[in-house]
Amino acid sequence: MHINVHDLLTEDLGFSRIFAIEGEQPMMLSLTLTQPVNGSVKMTKLEGERLAISGRVATQLQLECHRCLRSYTADTNTRFDQIYASRPAEDELPIERDQIDLAPLIEQELIVHLPIKLLCQPDCVGVPGAEAYLSEKSMKGTL
C-alpha cells in the first residue's frame, strides 16, 4: 500500500490531504485477510520532509480460536497515527523514493488491537471431547 507523497512534501507547513483506501489487499506476514482493506488516511505536512499520518481502516481477518482451534473470520477496524520522514528518527517510519508504505503500519495496528484471547464466539466450549478427557484426568488425580 504505497502512496506517492512527492507533491505533499513540497506543500506549505500544515497542508493536509485525505486519501481513500479502497479494496487494498496488502501482503501481510502475520495476518490473513479475508476481505480487502478499506478506510481513509489524512496526511499533514510537518517541518522538513516529514508527514503526520492519521487514519482508520476496516477489514476482515482469518483467525484461529484459542479454545477449539477452529478457523474463523472476524471483522475488525483500527485507527493509527504515525510520523513518516525522509530521515526518520527512532519512532518515525521512512519516506523512501517519495513514497510511504502503509502496509507494515496497518498490520502492526491490527495485531495490537486483537484481543488477547481469540475466541470464535464468547461461549465456545473448546475442543470436542476435551471436557470428558479433563474430567477423567481430574478424577484420577493426574491433572
pLDDT by residue for the chain (143 residues), tens only, comes to: 899 999 999 999 999 999 999 999 988 889 999 999 999 999 999 998 999 999 999 999 999 999 999 999 999 999 999 999 999 999 999 999 999 999 999 999 999 999 999 999 999 988 776 565 555 555 565 55
Q: How far is CA 32 from the centre of its chain?
A: 11
pTM tops 0.95 = no
Residues in the chain: 143
